[in-house]
């Protein structure tokens, strides 16, 4: 997956939780939960949606790392090249 595709997948997953998200306004290294006012329920729903769309298993440890946009892109692009 290219970084652009990864961003698009993240956007699509985020929109299911917070439909008003404009990803271009989000600092890639900021905590998404703060930037987008996601509570823990929203954040779990987002990572579950990302797992569903990507077909990747998102473990508890992964979830910790998915708190920023940059980390999400990294997770998706890297995972595919390894398998």
Partner 1 sequence: MGWEPIRKRRTGPVEPNLVDYERVYAGFSWDEARSQLTGLPGGGLNIAYEAVDRHAAGASRDRGALRCRGRGGHTTELTYDELRRATNRFANVLRELGAGKGDRVATLLGRVPELYVTAIGALKNTSVYAPLFSAFGPEPVRERLRLGDVRVLVTTPQLYRKRVAQLRDSLPALEHVLVIGDDPPAGTRSFAEAMARAGDEFTIPPTSPDDMALLHFTSGTTGKPKGAVHVHGAVLAHHVTAAYALDLHAGDVYWCTADPGWVTGTSYGIIAPLTHGVTVIVDASDFDSHGWYEVLQDERVTVWYTAPTALRMLMRSGAELAKRYDLSALRFVASVGEPLNPEVVVWGQEALGLPVHDNWWQTETGAIMISNYAAEDVRPGSMGRPIPGVEAGIVTGDGDGVTEVGDPEAVGELALRPGWPSMFRGYLHDDKRYAESFVDGWYLTGDLARRDPDGYYWFVGRADDVIKSAGHLVGPFEVESALMEHPAVAEAGVIGKPDPVVGEVVKAFVTLREGHDPTEELRAELVAFGRRRLGAVAPKEIAFDQHLPHTRSGKVMRRLLKSRELGLPEGDTSTLEVGR
Q: Under the rule (CB under 8 A), what is the footprint of partner 1? A: 15, 18-20, 31, 33, 37, 39-45, 60-61, 64
Q: Which is nearer to partner 1, 40 or 81 (CB)?
A: 40
Q: Which residues pair with 31 in a beta bridge?
A: 68
Q: Which is nearer to partner 1, 1 or 15 (CB)?
A: 15
Q: Which is nearer to partner 1, 57 or 83 (CB)?
A: 57
Q: Produce one character per residue of 2-30: b if its CB has 16 or more CB atoms within 10 Å, e if not.
A: eeeebbebbbebbebbeeebeeeebeeee
């Amino acid at each position: 997956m290219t970084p652009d595709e990864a961003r698009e997948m993240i956007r699509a997953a985020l929109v299911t939780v917070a439909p008003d998200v404009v990803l271009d306004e989000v600092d890639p290294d900021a905590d998404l939960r703060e930037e987008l006012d996601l509570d823990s329920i929203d954040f779990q729903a987002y990572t579950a949606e990302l797992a569903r769309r990507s077909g990747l298993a998102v473990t508890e440890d992964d979830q910790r790392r998915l708190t920023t946009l940059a980390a999400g892109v990294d997770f998706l692009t890297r995972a595919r090249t390894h398998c």
